[in-house]
Amino acid sequence: MGPYLEIVNPVLWEIGHIAWFHEYWTLRHAAGRAPLIERSDRLWDSSNVAHKTRWHLDLPDRAGTYGYMTDVLARQEDLVGGIDDEARYFYDLSIRHEDMHVEALTYMRQTQSNAPPVDLVDRAPPAAGALAGDASVPGGTWRLGSTPTEGFVFDNEKWAHEVTLAPFKIARAPVTNAEFAAFIDAGGYRTREFWSEAGWNWRERKNAERPVYWQAKRDGVWSVRCYRDVVPLAPHAPTIFINWFESDAWCRWAKRRLPTEAEWEAAAIGESASGGSSLSDHHRRWPWGDAAPDPSRANLDFVFDRPADVAALADGDSAFGCRQMIGNVWEWTQSDFLPFGGFSPDPYKDYSEPWFRTRKVLRGGCWATSARIARPAYRNFFPPDRSDVFAGFRTCAL
């Protein structure tokens, strides 16, 4: 089960919830089947089962939980060959919901100092060093969001709409551990002027002096807890497990800023129009073009067992020369998580609507994110004080 924490679920409950979500939407909602476990809604419906109670429910044991998951999958397999487009939507939703929880179960291992995942990857990412400099992105009109031609999308991405962007310069790579360490060494966590009011209140409340898993400096060297081990800090890897407040403070210290989500998206999949003075109407499917992600372009789907150095994976560069905008580490933006104009919730009404105006948008995915999730237009969202997720940041020039 794991210890009670406000930011995670009990592991056994989370696995059962994944199976329940599949069953609820594909077998019960789309196919009209009866529940496989009569009390399942009282156990695993996250919309109605209070977080604190999840450690105290009469859950099936480990074998029973996996047995339930197996039963759901078998019944889905029986039906999947004959489903229509309406039912397919709910399979797509449930698969992506599972993808999100696979990533969450991975960072939960870090949160709780468990062993790393096994039987997934045993490949360390390539050492590639740092990548300095900014990419210049022309201004113009940008269509922010998704279109119906893109297949399955989430409700908060609907629909693409025009926004106007001024020309801007954005870092070719995310902020590295070495760059963030310079902020700490300069007294950044103790200097009020670098923090927003809410950020300083968080820092004071948590007595934060460094990122959550960094260990106190010894003999001039930083180290970090990785799952249950303490290892040397990789200087050229993107800083990770950083919350929005810390990202914003680093920007104030460095005289930089976070990109808006529209700027991030334009830098990731935009192109220059003929002549180079404005943004083109053409959007790439991925930063590098139309080809599907692969290990030469993006650190996704557990290709490697952790983030790669920020200069790695040059084949994944965007048209403007931005690297690793898909995979490796989620990137905070300055944007609040807000609905696009005309928003209407999809059938899973609690996916987006309850969280508007309380969270910040992240983009791009991380090394543990499925390529089904880490599309350029996908909007991840977390409260600004969450530092347990695989999040870092890149910056823009003022």
Residues 206-248: tens digit of each pLDDT: 999 999 999 999 999 999 999 999 999 999 999 999 999 999 9
What mean pLDDT value characterizes the chain? 96
pLDDT for residue 102 is more than 80: yes
Count of CB atoms within 10 A of residue 179's CB? 21
Q: How far apart are CA 195 and CA 197, in angstroms?
A: 6
Domain end residue (candidates: 55, 88, 111): 111
**343 contacts: CB under 8 Å, gap ≥ 6:** 155, 156, 158, 352, 353
How many separate domains does the chain show? 2
Q: How far apart are CA 201 and CA 207, in angstroms?
A: 10
Domain that includes residue 245, residue range: 122-398
Which residue, 306, 173, 304, is CA-closest to 231? 306
129 and 58 within one domain: no
**Global pTM value:** 0.97
Q: What is the pLDDT of residues 164-196, one digit of tens each?
A: 999 999 999 999 999 999 999 999 999 999 999
- Tell whether 321 is covered by a domain: yes
pLDDT for residue 122 is more than 90: no
- Tell whether 312 is covered by a domain: yes
- Tell whether 116 is covered by a domain: no
Residue 289, pLDDT score? 98
What CATH number has the domain bearing residue 362?
3.90.1580.10
Strands 391-392 and 330-336: parallel
